[in-house]
Amino acid sequence: MTMLSLLRQHPRYLGFGFLHYFFSAVGQTFFISLFVASMSERMNWEDGTFAALYSGATLLAAFSLPFIGTQVDRLRVRYVSTATALLVVAGCLILGFTRNIYLLAAALFVVRLGGQGVLTLIGSTTIGRYFEEGRGKALSASIIGISVAEVLLPSGVVYLLERQGYGMVWLIAAGVISLVFIPAVWLLIRRHDNFQRADTVAAEQAAADPERETAVSWTRGQVLKDRRFQILIPVFIFIPFVFTGLVFNQSVIAGQRTYTAAWMALGLSTYGLSKVICLLSAGSISDGFGPARLLRFVYFPVLMGLFCLWAIDGKWSIPLFFALTGITAGIESVVWPALWAERYGPRFLGSIKSTVRLLVVLASAVAPVAFSYGLRLGLDNLLLGLLGYGVICVLLVWQEYRLK
């Protein structure tokens, strides 16, 4: 099945997945990091205050995800999507107008939980469990939503920040989610659509293939005891940890190497564009070779990017690093959900992926503070440490593959 035929057969489902990834941008690090300087200035905060609040909010959001993942398996997803979107809208409005540190911290929690956490969880879980044939392509068509956001939003947000202030940006975000995302969810997914629930998807797949009745979907507890899963934990948190840490501290990095904010924004757009290009082919490659086999080669580009960032002081190291990192991020964003669905079955996929998201978000929460301290030792030393971590991840992936 080609990507074009998949889009023709299932435009509503793929549109549903795409929108969840695109609108998750309001809770993603690349979006929130653009407001650090202006919000810290308005609140008269010292360096590191925003990072501490951000990390705390992210940690709380991470520990809420496993409960929500169970609801994604149990409830109709358009209700979960709508409730999540309404909470994110409230968080955006508070971030745009409050000067109260407690309300701001609560709003950060809401947009991180809803954006980076729940919306991406819903998108990847529903698409991953529903599609068997062409799963990789379906995931590519959905996940590309966040890459489109990464390409389009940074420069536009910087433009509005300079002319309107950050309050207007958050107000616009709340308005677009209310007027576009929520109505689209209800238009794309019908009330009794089997796509909405894990049990109906599993029953539909069993009816289509009687042999599937003997197959058992893994529970979250069984997955956590699986040695293959345990070996891969440091690997699937690598990109979120590195990307979050570097992007959140981009102003410090820019200061150390005399880069401009506009040049860093260009780097983020380069990352998004590179990720988009790779997503277009990653699904076909994953379907052809299998996610476990493909995973062995995914992390070489980001290692090259880190090496370039360490070895080259010039400003061109920024787009080069982000472009190479985007290659890895684009491919792994398809490989991981495809691997979980293929290996552990559809019935409890929401619970399993919420646990994965918990670990990923924990890594994202630790990264800003860890990188803040790491940068005090010098950017070059920090990058060498990240290179060593990346090499370990490659070795772990090859070790895990031999356990098959």
Q: Are 129 and 346 in contact (CB under 8 A)?
A: yes
What does the mean pLDDT of the chain come to?
86
Q: Are 65 and 113 in contact (CB under 8 A)?
A: yes
Is the Cα dihedral 360, 363, 364, 365 positive or negative? positive
Cite the DSSP H helix spans in 165-249.
166-176, 182-188, 198-208, 220-225, 227-236, 238-248
SS3 178: helix
Is the Cα dihedral 24, 233, 73, 362 positive or negative? negative
pLDDT of residue 302: 95
Give the pair of three-digit tokens for residue 241. 């940890």
Q: Are 353 and 69 in contact (CB under 8 A)?
A: yes
Q: Which domain range does residue 375 map to? A: 3-402
pLDDT band of 318, cuts 50, 70, 90: confident
Say what percent of the chain tops pLDDT 70.
96
Q: Whole-angstrom Cα distance, residue 122 to residue 184?
A: 15
Q: Are 99 and 395 in contact (CB under 8 A)?
A: no
Q: Are 332 and 359 in contact (CB under 8 A)?
A: no
pLDDT of residue 208: 64
pLDDT of residue 100: 86
Of the spans 24-28, 38-42, 65-69, 351-355, which averages the highest pLDDT? Answer: 24-28
Q: Which CATH number belongs to the domain containing residue 110 in this structure? A: 1.20.1250.20
pLDDT of residue 217: 80
More confident: 342 or 182: 182
Neighbour count for residue 367 (Cβ, 10 Å) = 27
Residue 65 has pLDDT above 50, yes or no: yes
- The angle formed by the CA atoms of residues 253, 257 and 261, to the nearest 5 degrees, is 60
State the amino acid at position 334 in one-letter form.
Answer: V
SS3 348: coil
Q: Whole-angstrom Cα distance, residue 194 to residue 98?
A: 41
- Tell me the per-residue pLDDT of 178-218, one tens digit each, with 9 for 90 and over: 999 999 999 998 877 878 777 777 777 666 665 554 456 88
Q: Whole-angstrom Cα distance, residue 336 to residue 339?
A: 5
pLDDT band of 288, cuts 50, 70, 90: confident
Number of domains in the chain: 1
**DSSP codes, 290-303:** -HHHHHTTTTHHHH
Burial of 333 (0-12, 13-18, 19+ CB in 10 A): buried
Q: Are 179 and 378 in contact (CB under 8 A)?
A: no
